[in-house]
Structure 1
Amino acid sequence: MEPNIFTLPSKTTIRQPVEAPKTAAQKAARATAEEFEAVFLADILKNMSVGLDTDGPFGGGHAEEMYKGLLNEQIANSISRNGGIGLSDAVYREILKTQEAGQ
C-alpha cells in the first residue's frame, strides 16, 4: 500500500534520539538549544492567551499581565527541561554540525 499525504510517519522517524552531551562545549550547546526551545514555547503560550478575558473578582490589571508572562516562561522552561517538543533536539544537532564544520 502506497503512503498518502494523510499517513503520518512513525514516532521514530519524527523524533530521533540525541546522545547525552559529554564535553563542556556539547553541554553548552545543549543548554542553548533548550533555552531556545523555552523561548519559542513561551511565545507560543503568550499568543495562545491573547484573546482570553480576565474579568471577574480576581482578574485584570497590570499585575496580572506581568505575572501571566512570567507564568508562561516558567511553563515553557518546564516543558523544555522535561523532554520538550523535539525542537531543542533538532537545534542541538544543528549546533553540533556547525561546530564540527568550523573545526
Structure 2
Amino acid sequence: MDPVSNTPSMPDRASRRDTALRDAAKELEAGFLAEMLKSAGLGETSESFGGGPGEEQFSSFLVQEQARAMVEGGGIGLAESLYNALKEREK
C-alpha cells in the first residue's frame, strides 16, 4: 500500500493481475479438459446400477471438478501456454 496516496502499490497491482490471469488460464484449461472428458464418455450413466435422473443432472458438475483437479495436478500445460501468451500481449 502506498502510504501517500493510500492506494495499492504497483507491484501489488501487478501481482494481483498476474494471479487473476493465471486463474483465468486455469479455468480455460479446465473447461477444455471437461469437454474432452465428456467426449471420451466420462460422466455418462451406466446401464446397470445407474443413479437415475439425479446422476444425469449432476454428472456435468463431477466432470468439471475432475477437470479442475487435473489442472491443479499439472494438467496438460495449456494453462501455462495461455498465461505466457497473454503476458506477452500485455507488454
TM-score bracket, normalised by the shorter chain, equals 0.7 to 0.9
Distance, in Å, in 2 between the alignment partners of 1:72 and 1:49 is 10
User: What does the per-residue CA deviation read over 1:12-39, in whole Å, with 9 as the maximum and x for residues that have no partner?
Assistant: xxxxxxxxxx711111110010000000
- What are the residue-to-residue correspondences of 1:1-103 with 2, within 5 Å? 23-49=15-41, 54-56=46-48, 58-59=49-50, 61-100=52-91
**Structure 1: tracts of 5 or more residues without a match:** 1-21
Greater RCO, 1 or 2 (C-alpha within 8 Å, sep 6+): 1
Which letter does structure 1 place at the counterpart of 2:79? S
> What TM-score, normalized to structure 1?
0.67
> What TM-score, normalized to structure 2?
0.74
**Structure 2: tracts of 5 or more residues without a match:** 1-13
